[in-house]
């Protein structure tokens, strides 16, 4: 598998540190507000990267922090007359809720900055002892960029150029304008923790670095975030790790491109944002995923509601195709040998899987992966249209399962049953034709499917069809899947 490494600017073969295992970390949100869909794009990219690595058989350990102490949280709390802890708690819960709605897998480890103060203080102490950091009279502790000869290694920035070109906060206590705070002295009313340098709180760059070291061990295989984090956040993270532990923080640095609206990066400060919550209130999560994944994760992504409206139709087309294939798989089997068209369709199914993996193996090219899925949908529709009355059942089933499986690697669930509330008439039908004696619609459906299966096994097609027709008369359809048949409402 080839993975683009932001540090070397090349696609490299992915070689795990420990065979068969991947340890990855993705910087989490600062929890002071609902996240916007730009943030969501970055989290989605790494969700799919993680899912694909799992699909390839890697045992993935995924950690993501919550930055629950920060100036933005403190400012928001002051505006609203609440404590910083209350604001952080509210938006941590909101973030997790929206991630669930968006179908993002929970991290294996979700450390919160405020609970990791000790690990951060240990790291800061080590950096001071090794001469890479210095406390100042106000109670701050700074990392000394001049003492780190590797500073700039990730972003490729040179300190002299930086000093000439960029405006930084003026602060008399810093030895170099690019020195950054590892520890910030507490101002009155701010959350703070005792430390050898006085009461205070950790700097943002310090958090991730100490948490990675504590929970995953350094170096890790993959460190990710949005491209806007490369400098200074990730540069500063890697500088601390190399100076504290003489080790790189990560072997591969991966960065997601920015989501834009009308050519501008979506951001809170520009005010050009939509929250993930408001978008998911109006659109199915899978349609939003589909829109975002049609662009490879590193490329900028242009968002518009017109495009999103379009992907709703695309998603429905995929769902309908799977439903039709499952329906065809449940029809009378073909008599005699398969025809060339059936065999050709079987080859297309296998080729789609290979093409999907080839695309995804090339730096997680989800756009290419989706193209492979779409071409299978087109081929399936053509096959179903041309097949006449009899379908190659097993091939149709394999096609449906392949579509569901490949989509699920992208976190898109085509197998989801459409909010199924089965009607009670099923109970009467099951009593009549399957000897059912209970009173539950879903048990009745299971009894009917069992009876149909028995009839099919006995080649009693008349009875099998009669059961299916009885179910159909209630506005329901029977779908055959690899894991058995099921009954659901007609879409």
CA 398 to chain centre: 26
Stretch that binds Zn ion, among 22-30, 81-89, 404-412, 438-446 (CB under 5 A): 22-30
39 binds, among Zn ion, ligand AMP, none (CB under 5 to 8 A by kind): ligand AMP
Q: Which of 22, 27, 412, 478 binds Zn ion (CB under 5 A)?
A: 27
CB 288 within 8 A of CB 308: yes
Q: How many CB atoms lie within 10 A of CB 354?
A: 10
Q: Label residue 364 left, alpha or beta by phi (over 0 means left) and psi (-120 to 50 means alpha).
A: left
208 binds ligand AMP (CB under 6 A): no
Question: Which position's Cβ is nearest ligand AMP?
Answer: 226
3-state secondary structure of 486: strand
121 binds, among ligand AMP, Zn ion, none (CB under 5 to 8 A by kind): none
- What's the angle, vertex CA 299, arms to CA 298 and CA 303, rounded to 5? 120
Stretch that binds Zn ion, among 204-212, 259-267, 433-441, 482-490 (CB under 5 A): 204-212
456 binds, among Zn ion, ligand AMP, none (CB under 5 to 8 A by kind): none
266 binds, among Zn ion, ligand AMP, none (CB under 5 to 8 A by kind): ligand AMP
135 binds, among ligand AMP, Zn ion, none (CB under 5 to 8 A by kind): none
Q: Give me the numbers of helices (H) and strands (E) for the chain, helices first please.
A: 16, 15
In whole angstroms, how close is the CB of 210 to ligand AMP at the nearest point?
Answer: 17
Stretch that binds ligand AMP, among 24-32, 88-96, 102-110, 417-425 (CB under 6 A): 24-32
208 binds Zn ion (CB under 5 A): yes
3-state secondary structure of 211: helix
Structure tokens at 113: 């900055």
Q: Which of 5, 7, 30, 98 binds ligand AMP (CB under 6 A)?
A: 30
23 binds, among Zn ion, ligand AMP, none (CB under 5 to 8 A by kind): none
24 binds Zn ion (CB under 5 A): no
Binding to ligand AMP in span 240-279, by CB under 6 A: 256, 258-259, 265-267
208 binds, among Zn ion, ligand AMP, none (CB under 5 to 8 A by kind): Zn ion
Binding-site size, ligand AMP (CB under 6 A): 17
Q: Which residues contact 266 (CB under 8 A, 6 or more apart)?
A: 36, 37, 38, 258, 259, 260, 272, 273, 274, 303
Q: Which residues contact 21 (CB under 8 A, 6 or more apart)?
A: 58, 59, 60, 61, 221
DSSP state, 299? S
Binding to Zn ion in span 75-94, by CB under 5 A: none
Handedness of CA 249, 253, 259, 263 (dihedral sign): positive
Which stretches within 102-203 are classed as H helix? 117-129, 159-165
Q: Label residue 156 left, alpha or beta by phi (over 0 means left) and psi (-120 to 50 means alpha).
A: left
Of 27 and 259, which CB lies nearer to Zn ion in the complex structure? 27
38 binds ligand AMP (CB under 6 A): yes
What is the distance between the alpha carbons of residues 304 and 276, in angstroms, rounded to a whole number? 14
What is the distance between the alpha carbons of residues 244 and 178, in angstroms, rounded to a whole number? 18
29 binds ligand AMP (CB under 6 A): yes
What is the distance between the alpha carbons of residues 145 and 153, in angstroms, rounded to a whole number? 12
107 binds ligand AMP (CB under 6 A): no
Of 113 and 412, which CB lies nearer to Zn ion in the complex structure? 113
- Residue 61's nearest CA partner among 25, 27, 23, 28 is 23
238 binds ligand AMP (CB under 6 A): no
Binding to Zn ion in span 413-472, by CB under 5 A: none
Q: Which of 24, 27, 250, 467 binds ligand AMP (CB under 6 A)?
A: 27
41 binds ligand AMP (CB under 6 A): yes
252 binds, among ligand AMP, Zn ion, none (CB under 5 to 8 A by kind): none
318 binds ligand AMP (CB under 6 A): no
In whole angstroms, how close is the CB of 213 to Zn ion at the nearest point?
Answer: 13
In whole angstroms, how close is the CB of 279 to ligand AMP at the nearest point?
Answer: 14
98 binds ligand AMP (CB under 6 A): no
Of 208 and 478, which CB lies nearer to Zn ion in the complex structure? 208
Q: Which of 90, 228, 405, 454 binds ligand AMP (CB under 6 A)?
A: 228
β-strand partners of 150: none
Give 85-117 as a 3 state SS string: HHHHHHHHHHHHHHHHHCCCCCCCECCEHHHCH
In whole angstroms, how close is the CB of 42 to ligand AMP at the nearest point?
Answer: 4
Which secondary-structure segment (H or E) carries 479? strand 476-481
Place of tokens 């696609």: 11
Interface with Zn ion by CB under 5 A: which residues?
27, 208
Interface with ligand AMP by CB under 6 A: which residues?
27, 29-30, 38-39, 41-42, 225-226, 228-229, 256, 258-259, 265-267
């Amino acid at each position: 598998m080839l993975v683009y490494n932001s540090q070397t600017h090349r696609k490299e073969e992915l070689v795990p540190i420990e065979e068969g295992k991947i340890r990855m970390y993705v910087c989490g949100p600062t929890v002071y507000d609902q996240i916007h869909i730009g943030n969501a794009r970055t989290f989605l990219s790494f969700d799919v990267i993680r899912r694909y690595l799992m699909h390839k058989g890697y045992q993935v350990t995924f950690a993501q922090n919550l930055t629950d102490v920060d100036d933005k949280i403190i400012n928001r709390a002051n505006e609203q007359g609440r404590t910083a802890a209350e604001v952080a708690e509210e938006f941590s819960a909101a973030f997790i809720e929206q991630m669930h709605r968006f179908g993002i897998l929970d991290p294996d480890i979700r450390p919160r900055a405020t609970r990791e103060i000790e690990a951060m203080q240990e790291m800061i102490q080590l950096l001071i002892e090794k001469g890479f950091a210095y406390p100042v009279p106000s109670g701050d502790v700074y990392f000394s960029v001049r003492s780190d000869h590797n500073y700039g290694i990730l972003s490729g920035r040179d300190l002299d150029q930086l000093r000439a070109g960029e405006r930084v906060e003026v602060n008399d206590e810093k030895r170099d304008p690019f020195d950054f705070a590892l520890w910030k002295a507490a101002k009155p009313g701010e959350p703070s923790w005792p430390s050898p340098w006085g009461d205070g709180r950790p700097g943002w760059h310090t958090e991730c670095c100490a948490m990675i070291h504590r929970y995953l061990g350094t170096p890790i295989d993959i460190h990710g975030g949005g491209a806007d984090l490369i400098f200074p956040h990730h540069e500063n993270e890697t500088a601390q790790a190399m100076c504290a532990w003489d080790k790189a923080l990560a072997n591969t640095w991966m960065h997601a491109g920015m989501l834009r609206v009308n050519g501008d990066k979506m951001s809170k400060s520009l005010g050009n944002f939509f929250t993930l919550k408001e978008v998911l209130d109006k659109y199915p999560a899978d349609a939003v995923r589909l829109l975002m994944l049609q662009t490879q994760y590193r490329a900028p992504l242009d968002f518009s509601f017109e495009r999103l409206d379009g992907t709703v139709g695309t998603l429905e087309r995929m769902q309908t195709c799977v439903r039709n294939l499952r329906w065809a798989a449940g029809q009378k089997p073909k008599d005699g040998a398969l025809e060339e068209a059936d065999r050709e369709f079987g080859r297309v199914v296998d080729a789609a899987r290979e093409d999907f993996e080839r695309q995804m193996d090339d730096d997680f090219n989800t756009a290419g992966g989706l193209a492979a899925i779409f071409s299978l949908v087109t081929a399936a529709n053509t096959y179903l249209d041309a097949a006449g009355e009899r379908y190659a059942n097993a091939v149709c089933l394999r096609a449906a399962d392949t579509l569901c499986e490949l989509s699920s690697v992208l976190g898109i669930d085509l197998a989801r049953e459409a909010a199924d509330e089965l009607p009670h008439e099923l109970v009467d039908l099951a009593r009549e034709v399957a000897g059912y004696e209970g009173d539950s619609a879903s048990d009745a459906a299971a009894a009917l499917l069992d009876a149909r299966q028995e009839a099919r096994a006995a080649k009693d097609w008349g009875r099998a069809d009669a059961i299916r027709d009885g179910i159909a008369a209630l506005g329901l359809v029977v779908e055959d899947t690899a894991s058995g048949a099921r009954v659901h409402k007609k879409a």
